[in-house]
Amino acid sequence: MLHLLHVVVCVKQVPDSREIRIDPKNNTLIRQGVPSIVNFYDMHGLEEALRLKDQFGARVTVVTMGPPPAEKGLKECISLGADEAVLVTDRGFAGADTLATSYVLGLAIRKIGEVWGPVDMVFCGKQTLDGDTGQVGPGVACRLNMDQLTYVCKVADVNPETRRVRVHRQMEDGVEVTETSMPVLLTALKELNKIRRATLPGMIRAARYKAAVWTAADFPELDKTKIGLKGSPTIVGKTWVPELKKANTVRVEGATAQELATDLAGKLWAEELPKRLGW
């Protein structure tokens, strides 16, 4: 009997990047009053998991670590087609850096495997809009002792029978085609796919759905020295918003392409001539 693929997707509720502000006193993001969205790289990971569900009938479970309002993002994932959702939330998890976050998510994914069956694949976004480090996905893979395929721009082949996965990875100097075996963790680029829209039945199910909520008490093996601020060695020395650079622009006018080209050439020459003459 063929094993039903179980795919877990890690998602994070992040501040809308268009509304981000920095607290100058403690160098942290000001989240109060800022609208939240699901990190869009994570959504591309979810879309790829849902495509595996369409193709193989895979089970898709989404998980997030965050405050109770993060359940809103999980409901969005359910509306798109995810089967189950888990919110990992506890005051003890607050202030976690990437090391502490990957530790808790690793425990959560192990527990997901115990509740809904062994996990074959994990998807994460390549990075989040707020932290922008790209460290959580690889950190989770290390915690779970999984192979990791990062910066994935195409999933070329998934074979449930041989349990092999082949992907294209975007590198600085080109694209690498590589293959490994399950279980495996992949980090998704936005080029991986186009995110689907929620269906009406999906939205109705999401409105009624209650995510599983797990706290620190649900993880008997939890080491409290590895969570929250205590388990976060990262120190933010300084944050700042880059200054906007103003660019000089010139309007080119004309009714046809020839007129536009003539006007552009004239204005460029008018700017260059004084330089050549030393004016």
Which one-letter amino acid corresponds to residue 24? P
Comparing C-alpha atoms, which of 41, 36, 79 is closest to residue 60? Answer: 79
Comparing C-alpha atoms, which of 50, 56, 54, 82 is closest to residue 159? Answer: 56
pLDDT at position 180, please? 96
What is the 8-class DSSP label of residue 211?
-
CA–CA dist 193, 190 (Å, integer): 7
Using DSSP bridges, classify how beta strands 13-15 and 36-38 pair: parallel, antiparallel or unpaired. Answer: antiparallel
pLDDT at position 278, please? 65
Contact 46, 123 (CB under 8 A): yes
pLDDT at position 263, please? 87
Which one-letter amino acid corresponds to residue 136? V
In terms of Cβ atoms closer than 10 Å to its own Cβ (0-12, 13-18, 19+), residue 257 is exposed
pLDDT at position 2, please? 59
pLDDT at position 214, please? 96
CA atoms within 13 A on the CB side of 265: 6
Which residues are CB-neighbours of 94 under 8 A, at least 6 positions away?
228, 229
Q: What SS3 state is found at 235? A: coil
Q: What SS3 state is found at 195? A: coil
CA–CA dist 253, 169 (Å, integer): 44
pLDDT digits (tens, 9 = 90+) for 85-121: 999 999 999 888 889 999 999 999 999 999 999 999 9
Instruction: Please give the helix or strand (H or E) that residue 169 lies within, else none.
Output: strand 164-171
pLDDT at position 31, please? 58
Contact 38, 11 (CB under 8 A): yes
Q: CATH 3.50.50.60: does it fit domain 6-226?
A: no
pLDDT at position 27, please? 56
CA–CA dist 46, 105 (Å, integer): 16
The residues of the chain scoring below 70 in pLDDT are 1-2, 16-34, 131, 239-242, 272-279
Domain boundaries, the chain: 6-226, 247-279
pLDDT at position 96, please? 86
